[in-house]
Amino acid sequence: MMRQMSRRGKFITFEGLDGTGKSTQMRRLAAALRKSGHEVVETREPGGTATGEKIRKVLLDSETSALAPLAEMALMFASRAQHIAEVIEPALAAGSIVLCDRFTDSTEAYQGGGRKLGSPPVRELHRVLCGDLQPDLTILLEANPHVSVSRARKRNRRASRAGARGHDESRFEQETRAFFMRVRESYMAIAKREPGRVVIVDARGTPGQTHERIVEVVRKKLRI
Ligand SMILES: Nc1ncnc2c1ncn2[C@@H]1O[C@H](COP(=O)(O)OP(=O)(O)O)[C@@H](O)[C@H]1O
Ligand SMILES: [Mg+2]
């Protein structure tokens, strides 16, 4: 039993508002960890599996209209339950380091905070549908919300010009400033509630500066 537990991998999640640099930083950390010989699995939510990517399209496409907040939350968890079963748990059991771009904290921040569904239903669904799986470490990227949201808008415009006609990932981007402030508040409340798991990382500098901070946190917290 003890031996099996010591061989389990590590689960690291990246959180923060759109455009704070989660995807950029996850790629960089993955490269650094692989360079030092670790087996790394990079994945994302919503998505991460074939079914999850279909759900992602429904959730993020701006053509999805009038999605009820509870339906939105349920779809996030449907994607996540599949992701845990198909990707995350097997990879952790095999001893890999799993890096995940967004996880349940995003649901608590966006649907709980942003959509005002509250934290308790999110945490309850996480317990029921996700076996209460907790990351070993969560990197919460913190930047000026106006700057990061406008970065994300620019990136999304570039991506939808390059991508398939009519498909985009900008549904959340149409939300109001007040929505993003609630999301941010919820993230801060999570960090305060779970300081052992969630580390706030200053993401206002260059990608390289943020990367160095993250490497330091990972080294200290997980000894890798
Ligand atoms: N530190 C940074 N400074 C300036 N631009 C950045 C920085 N980090 C990322 N970007 C750019 O901002 C956009 C959003 O970054 P991204 O990693 O996609 O954020 P997220 O995954 O959190 O939405 C991308 O175009 C990316 O190249
Ligand atoms: Mg991203």
Report cis status (omega within 30 of 0) of the bond before 46.
yes
Contacts of 43 (CB under 8 A, 6+ apart): 83, 87, 88, 98, 99, 100, 101
Decide: 21 in ligand 1 pocket, CB within 6 A. yes
Closest residue to atom 14 of ligand 1, CA basis: 19
**In whole angstroms, what is the distance from residue 217 CA to residue 6 CA?**
21
* Mutation test residue for ligand 1: of 18, 29, 110, 151, the one with most atoms within 8 Å of CB: 151
Q: How far is CA 189 from each of CA 62, 92, 114, 118, 135, rounded to the nearest angstrom?
A: 29, 28, 13, 12, 17
For residue 151 and ligand 1, the question of a CB distance below 6 A is answered with: yes
Nearest to 148 by CA among 172, 128, 112, 164: 172
CB-based contact 73:122 (threshold 8 Å): yes
Structure tokens at 206: 């260059």
Integer Cα distance of 68 and 23 in angstroms: 27
Q: Note down pLDDT in tens along the chain; length 224 residues.
A: 444 455 899 999 999 999 999 999 999 999 999 999 999 999 999 999 999 999 999 999 999 999 999 999 999 999 999 999 999 999 999 999 999 999 999 999 999 999 999 999 999 999 999 999 999 999 999 999 888 988 998 998 888 787 655 578 999 988 999 999 999 999 999 999 999 999 999 999 999 999 999 999 999 999 99
If one looks up domain 2-222 in CATH, what number appears?
A: 3.40.50.300
Taking the centre of ligand 2 as the mean of its atom positions, its distance from the CA of residue 26, in whole angstroms, is 9
What's this model's pTM, rounded to 2 decimal places? Answer: 0.95
Q: Please enumerate in sequence order all residues whose Cβ is within 8 A of that of 118, keeping only pairs 6 or more positions apart, or say none.
A: 112
Tell whether ligand 1 has an atom less than 6 A from the beta carbon of residue 170.
no
Say how far apart CA 57 and CA 158 lie, in whole Å.
Answer: 17
- State which amino acid sits at residue 164: A
Which runs of E-coded beta strand occur in 45-170? 97-101, 137-142
Using CA atoms, how far apart are residues 107 and 119, in angstroms rounded to an integer?
9
Place of tokens 């996030």: 76
